[in-house]
């Protein structure tokens, strides 16, 4: 049986995430990159819903500038569980 949500908890043990330390920009880029690898089309649709513009289109949105509600919208759209959404928001300082 598949675990509810995206299974994000395994991401936090990855070397690239741990290397980010306290850098919100690095953490955000890591998370967005993982979502991009997971399902590019779904992330593009979620990004459009959250920001009203295409992913990576100018002007580029910095990962540390993504608000709590935008993280919630993106992650929910991608299929994250409520606990996963709250975890990412906390990791990005958006509690």
Residue 1 lies in a domain: no
Residue 10 lies in a domain: no
Residue 44 lies in a domain: yes
Count of domains forming the chain: 1
- DSSP assignment of 64-88 equals GG--HHHHHHHHHHHT--HHHHHHH
Read off the pLDDT of residues 29-84 as tens digits, 9 standing for 90 and up: 999 999 999 999 999 999 889 888 766 555 577 887 889 999 999 999 999 999 99
CA 8: distance to chain centroid?
10
Mean predicted confidence (pLDDT) in 16-26: 94
pLDDT value at residue 59: 57
Residue 63 lies in a domain: yes
Residue 95 binned pLDDT confidence (cut-offs 50, 70, 90): confident
pLDDT value at residue 54: 63
pLDDT value at residue 23: 93
Give the range of the structural domain holding residue 87, as residue numbers without chain letter: 23-91
Residue 70 lies in a domain: yes
CA 25: distance to chain centroid?
12
């Amino acid at each position: 049986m598949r675990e509810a949500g995206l299974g994000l908890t395994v991401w936090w043990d990855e070397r690239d995430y741990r290397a980010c330390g306290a850098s919100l920009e690095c953490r955000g880029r890591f998370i967005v990159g993982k979502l991009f690898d997971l399902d590019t089309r779904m992330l593009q649709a979620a990004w459009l819903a959250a920001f009203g513009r295409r992913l990576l289109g100018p002007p580029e949105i910095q990962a540390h500038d993504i608000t709590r509600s935008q993280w919630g919208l993106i992650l929910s759209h991608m299929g994250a569980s409520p606990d996963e959404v709250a975890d990412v928001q906390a990791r990005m300082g958006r509690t």
